[in-house]
Amino acid sequence: MPGLLAPSSSSAVDAQRQTIAALRQQLQASSLEWEAERVSTGCPALDQILPGNGFRRGSLVEWYAADPGSGANILALIAARQACQSTGKLIVVDRRRTFYPPAAVAWGLSLQNMIVLAPRNDRDAAWAFDQAMRCTGVSAVLAWPEQIEGTTFRRLQLAAETSGVLGLFVRPAAAQHEPSWAETRCCVSPRASRAGWRLHVQVIHNRLQGHRHGIELEIDPHTGQIGRANHCTLASQLADSTPGGHAA
Amino acid sequence: MLHQPARRGQCVAACSTEAERLGIVEGMPLAEATALAGKSRPASTRSSQLHLEPHDPQADRTALQKLAQWCHQYSPTVGLEQAEQPQTIWLSATGMEKAFGSEQEHLQQIQRGLSRLRLVGRLALADTIGAAWGLAHCGEKDPWAESFRPGEWDRPIVVPGGQTRQALQPLPLSALRLPLDIVEMFLHLGIYHVGALLALPRTELEARFGPLLIKRIDQACGDRAEVIEPIPTPQEVTAERLFEYPLTQSDVIRGSLEQLVQQVAAALEARGDGALEITCRFGCYRAKDEALRIGLFQPTAEARHLQELFDLHLERLRLVGAVESIKLQVTRQAPLPWQQQQLFQQEASLTEMSQLATLVDRLASRLGRHAVMQCHLQSDPQPEQAYREEPLLSGGKRFSKQSRPSQQAPLARPLQLLRQPVRLGDVATTATAAPQGFHYQGCEYRVARHWGPERIQTGWWRRRSIERDYYQVETETGQRFWLFQQLPRGTWFLHGTFA
């Protein structure tokens, strides 16, 4: 049987050359994806399970909060912190007016580089999100859209790719069954723990990765460090968390 | 405290009211002032309370000139005190009672305007510049007020016409703008008030103390003319169009507005200025006029950008009558930022800043100025008051003040705080009053572990003081909430989620 290494005719040689050229083109295209600037999630353990060790600038990331008090906001916020570093601008679209800036500062964000928007209705919120995603002067946009129409979502994805802005949505868990143009989609659910705060993060979709990945993370309540569960520091293991608790 | 160079070392140039209460006065050596401030406070708070800065006279003068320009809305003639370090702004009040209703109302409007700028001014109205200066600087009470309270020094003083000499009588000698050495000489002679000075023979005063003393007395009493040297009036940039027939077609109105915007942009560009605030007034036929106000993040003279912002406003504007005139007025302007041709990274960052400014303008135009905000931390134990929101287009400093690093642990406060705490129904508690279980949004939660209580209490002097015991709870499913028990009633509330 003729093989790649033993062509038997010139037409076969041409066909093989074309195949090789096509494969090279595909490789180059995928390497461009990899070479695009990556932003760490803020958690090295989570970076390891993502292609390129982080989120791609100019993409959309969806976090699905399984329940209230699930910790999804924290993960989105530290990703925003990484995207903005020291000088980048963060736009927060706070439609429900529940965003609490002092807590964001405790997580290392700078209010100096943050603009908070308070749109009065969902339509204005969607418009504001769209405008912010198109601005090259912005590093990241954080929002809590409950519903996003398909055409709007596609427009946001194109805007992100053009401007290089990292769009971070935190949405209810039910939204994971809706069509999405986000490059990365993660479901966050809390877990009971005796030490720090444990979260289960399931990467249910990544455009460059075919299969799902899950990881258990633990947040050290004293330092805010987020690591792989069962790898946390001794201090958090010894923290008294039994019923009866401890006084602040 | 502000300090400035003195003959030996540094001395106090100005200090706050709190510093004055400690005995610190202007001219005091800085070391002495610092020692006084340190003695009065506990050691743990000393370093965080005392704030020293060098006095910048040029910055003071520039700020005062800017304020004088602002005062043009209250008087056509505004001037600055002719002194090395001016502290006074003159406004001519002649004929102003017709525009403002009364002299008292005129002064009150100025005071309200100053309050909006977070400034406290001492205002006095008299027949002469000298008397007004003396009353504003040295008058502690308004003797013509029907009822006055001692210490109400920021209340405007209005001296009725023809009673200037009488108003000057009780004032100290410094009210006459005399040099310090002349004042000290009179104090040494036992003359403390202007009234006693005016009773002395005039010829002897001139012979002994020179012509300046007589000049100041005459200026204060109105015997010698003194005029305000006006500062240049800022030239307004306006454009207006009056229509022969009232218009109702929106595209025609928009087209006319576009032409006016281009005129305004051209006028601004010609003088090298950019608009920070533009007002557009639509005169409506037999109906109330409508006005739009556009604020900008940074000065701009780009007609296209201004038109985009107006278009965003026009989408939401409902004109009740046909439009018979349109007037554009630049109410605030500033020199256009000069952007040097930069290369590579710096050029990119300038473009990004420009893009950000455009974004802020568009957001503010569509969402409203108060919906585009920057947050600042406040030192307040009540969680809702621990920060304040300021519109980004308020004209204050932007992105200039570094927020102080938080001293709280990352999980000390929830990322989502409800605007109004939600009252919880029956909350099961332990023997130590910690929460054991609660209902929220139709779900029952059992607490696996908790942290607290953290007692947060505000002072009795607050109109609504609070006393709350906060608990951070983690449920059996790992969810975290921030609850508090309101004291003394013991009612439970959910205030935030660690979402």
B350 CB-contact burial (10 Å; exposed 0-12 / middle 13-18 / buried 19+): middle
Quick check: B495 contacting A, CB < 8 Å? no
Q: Give residue for tokens 């003797």.
A: B143
For residue A97, the chain B residues in CB contact (below 8 A) are 419
User: Which residue in chain A is spatially nearest to B385 when comparing CA positions?
Assistant: A102
A197 vs B411: CB contact, 8 Å cut-off? yes
In this predicted structure, the answer to whether residue B374 has a pLDDT above a threshold of 50 is yes
Quick check: A223 contacting B, CB < 8 Å? yes
Calpha distance B54→B35 (Å, rounded): 18
Q: What is the mean pLDDT of residues B456-471?
A: 82
Q: How far is CA B156 from CA B89, B134, B138, B161, in A?
A: 14, 13, 12, 16
Q: pLDDT-derived band of residue B48, with 50, 70 and 90 as boundaries?
A: very low
Six-digit token string for B31: 């070391």
Q: What is the mean pLDDT of residues B91-96?
A: 87
Calpha distance B75→B90 (Å, rounded): 10
A138 vs B359: CB contact, 8 Å cut-off? yes
Closest CB to B411 among A100, A101, A219: A219
A106 vs B406: CB contact, 8 Å cut-off? yes
The 10s digit of each residue's pLDDT in A91-101 is 999 999 999 99
Closest CB to A117 among B357, B372, B478: B372
Give SS3 for A77: helix
What integer pLDDT is reported at residue B216 of this predicted model? 92
Instruction: Say if strands B124-125 and B157-158 run parallel, antiparallel, or are unpaired.
Output: parallel
Highest mean pLDDT, choosing among A20-24, B171-175, B288-292, B325-329: B325-329
More confident of the two residues A119 and B441: A119
Calpha distance B73→B75 (Å, rounded): 6
Quick check: A124 contacting B, CB < 8 Å? yes
Quick check: A164 contacting B, CB < 8 Å? no
Closest CB to A115 among B352, B366, B374: B374
Closest CB to B480 among A105, A197, A222: A197
In this predicted structure, the answer to whether residue A21 has a pLDDT above a threshold of 80 is no
Q: What is the mean pLDDT of residues A58-74?
A: 91
More confident of the two residues A63 and B207: A63
Quick check: B352 contacting A, CB < 8 Å? yes
Q: List all residues 6 or more positions away from B237 whose beta carbon is below 8 Å from its beta carbon.
A: B264, B267, B268, B273, B275, B329, B330, B333
| CA of residue A8 relative to chain centroid, distance | 51
Q: List all residues 6 or more positions away from A15 whose beta carbon is below 8 Å from its beta carbon.
A: none
What integer pLDDT is reported at residue A4 of this predicted model? 45
B418 vs A170: CB contact, 8 Å cut-off? no
Q: pLDDT-derived band of residue A8, with 50, 70 and 90 as boundaries?
A: low
Six-digit token string for B293: 């106000």
pTM attached to this predicted model: 0.65
Q: How far is A115 from chain B (nearest CA, A)?
A: 5
In this predicted structure, the answer to whether residue B497 has a pLDDT above a threshold of 90 is yes
In this predicted structure, the answer to whether residue A73 has a pLDDT above a threshold of 70 is yes
User: Which residue in chain B is spatially nearest to A89 when comparing CA positions?
Assistant: B356
CB contacts under 8 A, A 11-50 vs B, are none
Quick check: B362 contacting A, CB < 8 Å? yes
Closest CB to A102 among B368, B387, B454: B387
User: Which residue in chain B is spatially nearest to A188 when comparing CA positions?
Assistant: B499
Six-digit token string for B307: 């038109």
For residue A192, the chain B residues in CB contact (below 8 A) are 448, 474, 476-478
Q: pLDDT-derived band of residue B34, with 50, 70 and 90 as boundaries?
A: confident
| CA of residue A160 relative to chain centroid, distance | 13
Closest CB to B416 among A99, A107, A191: A99
Report chain A's mean pLDDT, rounded to a whole number.
83
DSSP symbol at B235: P
Interface contacts (A, B; CB < 8 Å): 206
B476 vs A192: CB contact, 8 Å cut-off? yes
B452 vs A245: CB contact, 8 Å cut-off? yes
DSSP symbol at B231: P
Q: How far is A121 from chain B (nearest CA, A)?
A: 10
Quick check: B14 contacting A, CB < 8 Å? no
In this predicted structure, the answer to whether residue B207 has a pLDDT above a threshold of 70 is yes
Bridge partners of A169, per DSSP, are: A62, A143
For residue A241, the chain B residues in CB contact (below 8 A) are 449, 451, 474
Side-chain half-sphere of B16: how many Cα atoms within 13 Å?
9
Calpha distance B361→B306 (Å, rounded): 9
What integer pLDDT is reported at residue B146 of this predicted model? 45
What integer pLDDT is reported at residue B273 of this predicted model? 86
Q: What is the mean pLDDT of residues B114-137?
A: 88
DSSP symbol at B431: T
What integer pLDDT is reported at residue B406 of this predicted model? 59
Q: What is the mean pLDDT of residues B40-65?
A: 71
In this predicted structure, the answer to whether residue B54 has a pLDDT above a threshold of 90 is no
Angle subtended at Cα B440 by Cα B439 and Cα B442, rounded to the nearest 5 degrees: 85
Quick check: A239 contacting B, CB < 8 Å? no
More confident of the two residues B345 and B354: B354
Q: List all residues 6 or more positions away from B207 whose beta carbon is below 8 Å from its beta carbon.
A: none
Instruction: Say if strands B491-497 and B416-423 run parallel, antiparallel, or are unpaired.
Output: antiparallel
Q: List all residues 6 or more positions away from B238 whose beta carbon is below 8 Å from its beta carbon.
A: B264, B327, B328, B329, B330
A241 vs B449: CB contact, 8 Å cut-off? yes
Q: pLDDT-derived band of residue B354, with 50, 70 and 90 as boundaries?
A: confident
What integer pLDDT is reported at residue A32 of this predicted model? 47
What integer pLDDT is reported at residue B316 of this predicted model? 82
What integer pLDDT is reported at residue A237 of this predicted model? 46
More confident of the two residues A121 and B83: A121
What integer pLDDT is reported at residue A236 of this predicted model? 45
In this predicted structure, the answer to whether residue B131 has a pLDDT above a threshold of 70 is yes
User: Which residue in chain B is spatially nearest to A222 when comparing CA positions?
Assistant: B409
B477 vs A77: CB contact, 8 Å cut-off? no
CB contacts under 8 A, A 178-207 vs B, are 189-193, 197-199
Q: List all residues 6 or more positions away from B202 whose beta carbon is below 8 Å from its beta carbon.
A: B214
Closest CB to A192 among B432, B448, B452: B448
The 10s digit of each residue's pLDDT in B312-322 is 888 888 888 89
Side-chain half-sphere of B128: how many Cα atoms within 13 Å?
23
Question: Hey, what's the torsion of the CAs at A48, A49, A52, A58, to 10 degrees?
Answer: -120
Report chain B's mean pLDDT, rounded to a whole number.
84
Calpha distance B385→A70 (Å, rounded): 25
Of all residues in chain A, the percent with pLDDT exceeding 70 is: 82
A115 vs B408: CB contact, 8 Å cut-off? no
Q: How far is B340 from chain A (nearest CA, A)?
A: 19
- Is the ipTM higher than 0.85? The answer is no
Residue of B258, B365, B281 whose CA lies nearest to B316: B365
Quick check: A138 contacting B, CB < 8 Å? yes
Calpha distance B257→B113 (Å, rounded): 31
B406 vs A221: CB contact, 8 Å cut-off? no
Q: List all residues 6 or more positions away from B62 whose beta carbon is below 8 Å from its beta carbon.
A: none
More confident of the two residues A175 and A221: A175
Q: What is the mean pLDDT of residues A50-54?
A: 87
What integer pLDDT is reported at residue B148 of this predicted model? 42
Residue of B140, B157, B174, B142 whose CA lies nearest to B93: B157
For residue A112, the chain B residues in CB contact (below 8 A) are 374, 399-403
Where would I find the H helices in B169-302? 180-188, 194-198, 202-209, 211-221, 250-270
What integer pLDDT is reported at residue B149 of this predicted model? 45
Q: pLDDT-derived band of residue B41, with 50, 70 and 90 as boundaries?
A: low
In this predicted structure, the answer to whether residue B144 has a pLDDT above a threshold of 50 is no
Quick check: A65 contacting B, CB < 8 Å? yes
| CA of residue A6 relative to chain centroid, distance | 47
Give SS3 for A190: strand
Please state, as a whole number, how many other Cβ atoms lie within 10 Å of the Cβ of residue B402.
10
Q: How far is B87 from chain A (nearest CA, A)?
A: 33
